[in-house]
Chains A and B, each alone.
Chain A
Amino acid sequence: ILNVEQSPQSLHVQEGDSTNFTCSFPSSNFYALHWYRWETAKSPEALFVMTLNGDEKKKGRISATLNTKEGYSYLYIKGSQPEDSATYLCAFPNSGYALNFGKGTSLLVTP
């Protein structure tokens, strides 16, 4: 089992703040790193799938970077809005063809 660690476990920010989370993963035998957004009472939805060292991806106010040599990825949210409140999961492929998920970072954005 390949361990994926996320920090912080939870985060509470004010509307308009920018924030970031960290995902740490094994740096050996890297294939891909996934980020998902999971709103309460819904299903997880993919944000990014990153495969190359130095990759940067962006979707609206959310962006992510990847460092495969040191085994970490950052997820950034610029100008947080209440609708950004969710749990953000990162995941790493296991030895087969499914994902091992971190426990997530729970973000609460208050007006």
Chain B
Amino acid sequence: NAGVTQTPKFQVLKTGQSMTLQCAQDMNHEYMSWYRQDPGMGLRLIHYSVGAGITDQGEVPNGYNVSRSTTEDFPLRLLSAAPSQTSVYFCASSYSGVRETGELFFGEGSRLTVL
């Protein structure tokens, strides 16, 4: 079982470049989300989706775009990379809403460095 798959696992960008972090899940989960993890900050929510065509902002959405055209995929786009976006990014999915009993399943993370 693949679960939640993130690519790439590592990426180095220059300031101003754009890129897309890919996230795919094969569990037919409706709910997907992106988090970033920074030292001393814990996991912070960037964007989330409750189904194809529906997305919403989290705690730290600035500088990131998302779309959800299919149930399986939830890519995260960095529009113009900044050093402040150096972080480890995690994609997660759940079968039901986290307000009910929907536990999150996480990808392995993508480590991004912006120079």
Residue of A nearest to B59 (CB): A1
Residue of B nearest to A92 (CB): B98
* A107 proximal to B (CB < 8 A): no
* Structural contact, B103 and A43, CB atoms closer than 8 A: no
* Structural contact, B98 and A43, CB atoms closer than 8 A: no
Chain A stretch 70-103: residues in CB contact (< 8 A) with chain B: 89, 91, 93-94, 96-103
- Cross-interface CB contact of B56 among A46, A96, A99, A102, cutoff 8 Å: A96
Q: Complex Cα distance A32/B98, Å? A: 7
Q: Complex Cα distance A94/B35, Å? A: 14
* Structural contact, A103 and B41, CB atoms closer than 8 A: yes
Contacts of A94 in B (CB 8 A): 45, 58
Knowing A31-B99, A32-B101, A93-B99, say if A98 contacts B109 (CB, 8 Å). no
Knowing A43-B109, A97-B31, say if A49 contacts B102 (CB, 8 Å). yes
Contacts of A46 in B (CB 8 A): 103-105
Residue of A nearest to B3 (CB): A43
Contacts of B99 in A (CB 8 A): 31-32, 93, 97
- Cross-interface CB contact of A51 among B31, B40, B50, B101, cutoff 8 Å: B101
* Structural contact, A100 and B103, CB atoms closer than 8 A: no
- Cross-interface CB contact of B40 among A42, A43, A103, cutoff 8 Å: A103
Q: Mark B74-110, 1 if CB is under 8 A from A, else 0.
A: 0000000000000000100000011111111111110
* Structural contact, B103 and A97, CB atoms closer than 8 A: no
* A26 proximal to B (CB < 8 A): no
Contacts of A45 in B (CB 8 A): 106
Q: Complex Cα distance A32/B43, Å? A: 18
* Structural contact, B59 and A44, CB atoms closer than 8 A: no
Contacts of B53 in A (CB 8 A): none
Chain A stretch 50-77: residues in CB contact (< 8 A) with chain B: 51
- Other than A44-B104, A96-B48, give 5 A-B pairs with Cβ distance below 8 A: A34-B104, A42-B108, A44-B43, A96-B50, A98-B31
7 A-B pairs with CB atoms under 8 Å apart are A43-B109, A45-B106, A46-B105, A51-B101, A93-B98, A98-B31, A98-B45
